[in-house]
Amino acid sequence: MKTIAVVSAHPGSGQTTILVNLASGLVRKGCHVLILDPSNNRKLRLWLGLNPIPDQALTSTEPPSMGKANIEHSRLGVDLISFSSDPAGKSENLYHQLALEKGAYEYILLHPSNKVDFDVLSRIPAALLVCTDLKNDYELEELKAIELCWQESGGRPDSITLIVPNKINTKEWEHNTEQLFAIADHFGFEKIADPIPHCERVHDLPLDGRTVWDLSQENLREAFLRLVSAVENIQ
């Protein structure tokens, strides 16, 4: 079983887009995939075709001895466990659910929505996948800060496992290349996934529960196929 945290360098980098399309891509290859959503993310639930649930209907405060959380089965073939946004007891329950699901899934993807979630998830042994769109001149500094936070919160030397350049404007290759080389010089070229091109149609996918696999843009599908392969190769 592989456990992978999918985070973003900054808002708008495509964290949920990468998460859902990666998860559905793994499902298409015959894998069993579970998403752990620590903060009851509304956009994620709607994309998966699951009705929003009020925080009051979820719990992260009861002790792990209360047993197994409710697993929801989505229209994309991906399973989901949502927790309330209340941080109390969240870390213990995440550990508990991971232990319960060990062996039932090939992949468990973690989807932190805020700093509290990130700090909680950093204590869980997991690979770290970071989405970034290369738009800012300080991309490298953001990635360094994420890695440092991951190491300090989790009390371990782990570094970023994979950096995913997402929503890339192919007409800005001079800027993109400069950013990518700066990032690669620090983290290593082997940690940079193939860039995923910008596509306006991606914005509409959550509305009707579709994924990039339903689009006709071959270059976009191929980019996500390479991402799926890169994740499969994570040790």
The domain tally of the chain equals 1
Position 63 scores a pLDDT of 43
Confidence (pTM): 0.90
For 77-132, the DSSP string reads S-EEEE--S--TTHHHHHHHHHHHHBTTBSEEEE---SHHHHHHHTTS--EEEEEE
- The answer, yes or no, to whether residue 205 has pLDDT greater than 80, is yes
pLDDT tier, 141 (very low <50, low <70, confident <90, very high otherwise):
very high
What is the tens place of the pLDDT at every residue in 148-175? 988 887 766 778 999 999 988 878 888 8
> Shortest CA distance to 117 belongs to which of 142, 79, 149?
149
CA distance 15 to 164: 10
To the nearest whole number, what is the mean pLDDT of the chain? 86
The CATH number of whichever domain residue 200 belongs to comes to: 3.40.50.300
CB atoms within 10 A of CB 35: 24
Q: What pLDDT, on a 0 to 100 scale, did the predictor assign at position 61? A: 44
Residue 95 CA to residue 51 CA, distance in Å, equals 25
Strand partners, 33: 107
What is the reported pLDDT for 88? 61
Read off the pLDDT band of 68 (50, 70, 90).
low
Q: Packing angle between helix 15-28 and helix 218-232, nearest 10 degrees?
A: 80
For residue 126, what are the domain limits? 2-232
**What confidence score (pLDDT) does residue 90 get?**
63
Query: pLDDT band at residue 229, thresholds of 50, 70 and 90?
Result: very high
